Amino acid sequence: MTALSTQTALDIIASHGADPARWPADQRAALLALAASDAAVAAALADARAIDAALTDWLNAPLPAMAVDVAAITAQPQQMPQQMPHAPATRRWMPAAVAASLALVVAVGGWLGLQPQSGNGAPTIAAATPPSAGVEQAEADAAFAYVFTPTAAEEELI
């Protein structure tokens, strides 16, 4: 029989309950001996027994009679609405969802470095472009090319 610490015994009781048959077999005898000599372990075992008894009573309690007649409800004719109106709450946030979607498109477009094209195919450059914008644009173009340009092996598959 191995000696158990109080904390180990409390952990076993907390995780396995009060029934010694559910405890680890190699620690069962030591835990029972410790429960006889340690007040904290004995109290934890008494609490676990009360919890086990309450759970057993709950498990064995009869189910209450249903106040709903399921057969009568399912026998009723089904009525489908002509048109499902949007709930008032949906109508309130719909403009916000559209605005958020538009903001997301603008942000992603800026993140990818997309600029509007002029009629001749050349990119339109704003007059107030800072000097670092060209470097950032080149980095964005390089990142885009790195991600979306197929490799030689991928070209062969295409």
**Mean pLDDT computed over every residue of the chain:** 78
pLDDT bracket for residue 16 (50, 70, 90): very high
Which amino acid would we find at residue 60?
N
Tell me the pLDDT tens digit for each residue of 59-72: 888 877 767 777 88
* CA pseudo-torsion sign 17, 21, 25, 27: positive
pLDDT bracket for residue 54 (50, 70, 90): very high
pTM beyond 0.85: the answer is: no
- CA 106/CA 56 separation, integer angstroms: 61
